[in-house]
Amino acid sequence: MIEILTNRLMIIPCSLDIAKSLVFHRKELDKRSPIEIPASWPSAYVRGFLPYYIESLEKDDKDLDCGVWMIILYEEKKIIGDIVMQGKPVQEQNVRLTYHIEEATTDGSIAYEAIDAFIDWLTYQMAVKKVVMECEVQDKESIRLFDKLGLICTKKDGEFFTWEIQKEEE
């Protein structure tokens, strides 16, 4: 299993078993899991996305164009957020990311640490050339985060900004 480790975090893909348990057996998962799972996790976006994700994993879809990743605060053994990756990193070399960090843990540095590590892994292990993220125009925290990560705002579409970072060609 893939593990992305930082000083405080472990970022791992959400397995088929965990995804199914989140949908069909949440109470049992909460009781048996060695990792604390907050009642507010997964995010609303991921909850809506899980049926498609489960179906794709059950088909053993090798061309799966998405992935749900769990952000775990390692020392506390607690899930604090998620990252959803859409795109085919190996084929198209670009992905779209969406993230959510539990509000109780948002000091800004956790989100930076998680997204920075994930982008590093994507660019070095998966040969991704471009990462795209979006945020609402009034989402000052995400705007600061994306700017700090080195993403560039490339488009404004209504109430949303599109941000991108591209790996330099060598």
Q: CA nearest 14: which of 34, 44, 42?
A: 42
The bridge status of strand 130-136 relative to strand 94-101 is: parallel
pLDDT tens string 28-59: 999 999 999 999 999 999 999 999 899 989 98
- DSSP per residue, 62-116: TT--EEEEEEEETTTTEEEEEEEEES-HHHHSEEEEEEEE-GGG-SSHHHHHHHH
For residues 102 and 91, the model is more confident at 102
User: How confident is the model at residue 93, as a pLDDT?
Assistant: 87
Q: What predicted TM-score, i.e. pTM, was given to this entire model? A: 0.91
What's domain 4-166's superfamily in CATH? Gcn5-related N-acetyltransferase (GNAT) (3.40.630.30)
Contact (Cβ atoms closer than 8 angstroms) between residue 4 and residue 11: yes
State residue 127's pLDDT score. Answer: 85
**Band of pLDDT at residue 63, cut at 50, 70 and 90:** low
Report the alpha-carbon angle 60-2-10, nearest 5: 130
Is residue 110 over pLDDT 80?
Answer: yes
